[in-house]
Amino acid sequence: MISWLILLAPLLSALLILGGLHRSKTLSQGVSIIACLVSFLIALGFFTGSISAPQPFTWINLPEFKAEIGILVDPLSKLMLLVVTGVGLMVHLFSVGYMHEDEGVSRFFGKLSIFMFSMIGIVVSTNLVQMFIFWELVGLSSYLLIGFWFQKPSAADAAKKAFLVNRVGDFGFLLGIIFYWTLAGTVMFGAEAALTIQSRMGAGESLNITMVTATGLLLFCGCMGKSAMIPLHVWLPDAMEGPTPVSALIHAATMVAAGVYMLCRVFVVLSLSEQTLEVILYIGAGTAFVAALIATQQNDIKRILAFSTLSQLGYMVMAVGLTSPGIEFPAASMFHLTTHAFFKAMLFLGAGSVIHAVHHEQDIWKMGGLWKKLPWTFGTFLLGVLALTGFPGLSGFFSKEEILTLAYHKSGPVMVFATITAGLTAFYMMRLLIVTFFGEARSTNALKAHESPKIMIIPLVILAFLTVFAGYPFMGILASLGQTHPHEASHTVMGISIGVMLAGYLIAFVLYRGRGIEPIYARVLANKFYVDEFYDRVLLRIQQGFAIGMDFIDQWVIGFVFVRGTSLVVNLTGEVLRLVQSGSLQGYAFFFAAGVVGLVYWMLKGF
């Protein structure tokens, strides 16, 4: 059963490292990379059809409730597996260079293997319960990796925040799964579930549309947590406290996209209710727009990319909302997910290479003039910026174009917001590029920077290749999504999007060329619309106040009435007990045995 190895190889690697290999850095790295390679090769086997899916394993089997752990191989999972294991492999290689000075290298690779195991588990899920299991496990690995430098209070806080915000989303997700099971009678994915629900809605009218909408929205809650949609987006920027390769793999390319992947999986059920799709559409578009606005005023290289990730995830979710019911899954969304995984992972790894070169400085205003010193990093980063902003001919152009075309045909206001977002994206990415790589070096670290080792550059170059070509038919990505070539975008859409992109470039160029300090300061944007402050100072305080209030009631009302109210009895009994507490064991044993037996006998005799 070679196909199970796709899951077992990383699991085994994690266990080996945890079980003792961690004493050797080299062995831990080696085992972890080999495990990832094995998963990648099996994913290739699935993609080409040379390996087929195994029999599932029964996890729970009760009448009316069956859950299995299986491997589902279909177009959606084939593509996603390649993305996860491929980008994963690049990140593993990059980490060898990036983490080599860290004492916890072995621990790092062990946790990376746990992540690969859990993420692959999500992708191959055959049912919602299995997905939820691995969904929580990626949450755990994300928690462990964000808090990798756990001595640092900010990292420890960020890890906790990520877990808790995701828990709020998972509260909805779990209820959504229960609703789904109640409606469809199964937790399995697929068209049958949707057909069951549809038939129950139609003929007997035992099922009303509100319930179906609620199911869709609750499932979407899971996506809002994992893919960091507004208002649950606050954990993702903080998650940048983790090591940069983690940000690339987990918090840019794969795990955060799991929410979108899940929506694609259950799209047949989501699309039974138009209201559900509408809510998804607006939350996606809103997130895309707001996150892009915030990104324009951030100064930390990783945070800019994090907000950009939020914004692009917003695009993908928006694309789900724009897809017409009746289609098997939102291909535009998956296509953008794929191209984004490549170029965003590359951008993050590029940022990692920059951070590595300037001795862990992350403020872009303390960089500058790096393009000559880091030629490979700069070249690949430039390609990433162009792809992300939708420069014609690169992968991001094709995938973004598909989403904009959908919006153009479906909804005017959404099209307007999506276009403005595209312009903002061009603006903040060009700002990032100019401030980081051009102008004067603005710190000694930036002056002394030198290019990263080959083990870090090679993954960048491979990802750069994918960034350029992923949109072309010969790569097979479009074919696997059921399309032979990119959609014919209407000339209007193409014109508008290229126009706003150029405008964004131009404004950034004019504003930031040769600057050493931020020329404009928008307090609200720099402070991320004060959402974190609102949560910390209002919601969390209300919650804690409520908890303290409850505690007070418990101690003084319930405790008083039930306990201190009978203090007289307590004292009297205490006196009696003191007499009995002779310290002799046989005495105690006799008293309690005799007492109990006598009591029972007495009670029974009374009847």
Partner 1 sequence: MNPLLILLLVPLAAIAVILWLPQICPKRTTVTAFIVNFAISLGLFFQFEGGSGFQWVLKYPWFNLPNVAQVNFHLGVDGISLMMVFLTTLVSLASVWVTSAVVKRAREFFIYILLISLGALGAFLSRDLFFIYIFHEFALIPTFLMIGIWGGQNRQFASIQMTLYLALGSLILLAGIVGLVLTQPLDSRSFDLEAIQQIHVIDEGIQRIIYPLLLIGFGILISLFPFHSWAPTGYASAPAATAMMHAGVLKKFGLYALLRLLLPALDSGADYWQTTLLVLIVGNVIYLGYVTMAQKEFPLMLGYSSVMHMGYLFLALASQSLIALTGFVLLMVAHGISAALLFALSGELQSKTGETRIASFGGVYTQAPFLGIMLLVGSMASIGLPGLANFSGEVLIFFGAFKSHPWVTIVCVWGVVISAVYQLRAVRLICFGSVSEVTAKLVDLSSYSARFPYLLLVAASLWIGIYPQSVIHLVQPCLEVILNGGGR
Q: Which residues bind partner 1 (CB under 8 A)?
A: 58-65, 129, 132-134, 136-137, 140, 147, 150-151, 153, 156-157, 159-160, 163-164, 167-168, 170-171, 174-175, 178, 181-182, 543-544, 546-548, 550-551, 554, 558-559, 562-563, 566, 569-570, 573-574, 577, 581, 585, 588, 592-593, 596-597, 599-601, 603-605, 607
Q: Residue with structure tokens 């072309």?
A: 472
What does DSSP assign to residue 62? E
Complex with partner 1: residue 133 or 531, whichever CB lies closer: 133
Complex with partner 1: residue 87 or 212, whichever CB lies closer: 212
What does DSSP assign to residue 3? G
Question: Burial, 498: exposed, middle or buried (Cβ in 10 Å; 0-12, 13-18, 19+)?
Answer: middle
3-state secondary structure of 329: coil
Least separation in angstroms between CB 573 and partner 1: 6
Least separation in angstroms between CB 572 and partner 1: 11
Which residues touch 49 (CB under 8 Å, ≥6 apart)? none
Least separation in angstroms between CB 189 and partner 1: 17
Least separation in angstroms between CB 153 and partner 1: 6
Complex with partner 1: residue 80 or 158, whichever CB lies closer: 158
> What is the Cα–Cα distance from 121 to 262, expressed in whole angstroms?
12
Least separation in angstroms between CB 248 and partner 1: 23
Amino acid identity of residue 47, one-letter, is F
Both tokens of 491, joined, read 């000339």
Least separation in angstroms between CB 310 and partner 1: 22
Least separation in angstroms between CB 389 and partner 1: 38
Amino acid identity of residue 493, one-letter, is V
Complex with partner 1: residue 534 or 552, whichever CB lies closer: 552
Task: Select from 511, 352, 370 the least CA-distant residue to 430.
Answer: 511
Least separation in angstroms between CB 174 and partner 1: 6
Amino acid identity of residue 403, one-letter, is I
Sign of CA dihedral 457, 118, 267, 419: negative
3-state secondary structure of 60: strand
Complex with partner 1: residue 131 or 433, whichever CB lies closer: 131
Complex with partner 1: residue 69 or 257, whichever CB lies closer: 69
Q: Residue with structure tokens 């960048």?
A: 460
Buried-state track 425-460, b at ≥16 Cβ within 10 A, e below 16: bbbbbbbbbbbbbbbebbbeebeebebbeeebbebb
